[in-house]
Amino acid sequence: MDQFRNIGVIGRMGSVKVVESLRQLKQYLITHNYHVILEEDTASMLPGHGLQVASKKLLGEICDLVIVVGGDGSLLGAARELAKSKIPLLGVNRGRLGFLTDISPADLEERLGKVLEGEYIEETRFLLDGNVERNGQPLGFGTALNDVVLHPGKSTRMIGFDLFIDGHFVYSQRSDGLIVSTPTGSTAYSLSAGGPIMHPKLDAIVLVPMFPHTLSSRPIVVDGKSEIKLVIGETNETYPQISFDGQMNIACAPGDIIRITKKPFKIRLIHPTDHNFYATCRDKLGWASEISAS
């Protein structure tokens, strides 16, 4: 099929195993007459490659498909950069869990070959945008595929904040913070904090309190189109942070306002035809893999 002719490649830096997979991937694609474009940092790991090099932004403009070699964190970074371009992403797992990067290096060529022949499943995932305001002026902006998290940073003190959903006051809380997660992120940090596992097709956002100073505070699932507003309490003695996928942080101050909404652009993920969300959960989360007789 001609739909994937120009293929971008992004690899996680600092990993010998990633370099091994990059070399294998490069050789396979060139042998099968695909036009390969390396992301500029990735290119530095393959000296003498002789291929076209481009920034992540340019990859989104000139590629038909981008292959990410690394862990879920690598794909999260690529997703934030490429969501606006609507370029499909395919992940090769060189990380630990691999909820998003679901092609194993052991059968890379076989499974990649089928995808490039048109045998694949495509799905879309939404992202979150977060804006921080101070005294009515914009302070910072970030995007997340997994989660936007209010946390105390290096401090061990609790954070006091007010939560509003679609302009309606929900509660004031003192806690270690709040995780605002997409369905994609529900199997990441949100899960560790006691949040529910959400199917990726859901148009919903989950808010998970982190060690709240009350026994009645529980995760809340809201419509994916909701606007989440957090107001940092004026009496806070600590200066908390807001993080995006754990990869970008903005320092906040008492009185700051954080607004979180769904990003207008979704990412496109490519999976092999045998991809199944529940099978992934069984594999990655250690669920029982046999049906026991009653």
Write out the binding residues for NAD(+): 72-73, 146-147, 157, 174, 176, 187-192, 247
d(CA 68, CA 115): 14
CB 81, CB 261: distance < 8 Å: no
Which pair of tokens denotes residue 141? 């902006």
CB 78, CB 56: distance < 8 Å: yes
d(CA 286, CA 277): 14
**Helices and strands: H and E segment counts in the chain:** 7, 17
Decide if 72 is catalytic: yes
CB 125, CB 200: distance < 8 Å: yes
Which pair of tokens denotes residue 11? 């690899």
Which residue is catalytic, options 2, 41, 64, 72?
72
Q: Which residues does the annotation mark as catalytic?
A: 72
